[in-house]
Structure 1
Amino acid sequence: MRDKPHTKGVNLPFRFEGLEIWQRAREFSAKIHDMTTKFPRQELYALTDQINRASDAVALLIAEGSGLQTDALFSHRLGLAVGEVFEVVSGSFLAHDRKYITAEQQAEIYEWGDALARKINAFRKTLK
Structure 2
Amino acid sequence: MAAKHNFRKLTIWKEGIELVKETYSATKKFPKSEIYSLTSQIQRSAISIPSNIAEGTSKSTNKHFLQYLETALGSAFEWETQLIIAFEINYISEESFKHLENKIQIIQGMITRFMEKIEIL
Residue 37 of structure 1 is matched in structure 2 by 28
How many aligned positions are there?
115
Alpha-carbon distance, 1:20 to partner: 1.0
- The equivalences for 1:6-25 within 5 A come to 15-25=6-16
1:108 & 1:73 partners in 2: Cα distance?
A: 32
Matched, 1:126 2:89: no
Deviations 1:25-62 (A, max 9, x none): 10111111111111000000000000000000000000
Superposition map of 1:1-128 within 5 A: 15-128=6-119
User: Distance in 1 between the 2:74 and 2:27 partners?
Assistant: 20
> How far, CA to CA, are the matches of 1:93 and 1:27 in structure 2?
19
Give the whole-Å Cα distance in 2 for the aligned partners of 1:108 and 1:46. 23
| Structure 1 portions without partners, runs of 5+ | 1-13
TM-score, normalised with respect to structure 1 = 0.86
Describe the SS at the equivalent of 1:38. coil
Q: Percent identity?
A: 29
| Higher RCO structure (Cα 8 Å, ≥6 apart) | 2
TM-score by length of 2: 0.91
Residues of 2 paired with 1:30 and 1:93: CA distance?
Answer: 18
1:61-98: CA deviation from partner (whole Å, max 9, x where unpaired): 00000101111111111011011111111111111121
Runs (4+) off by over 2 Å? none
Q: Secondary structure of the residue that 1:30 maps to in structure 2? A: helix
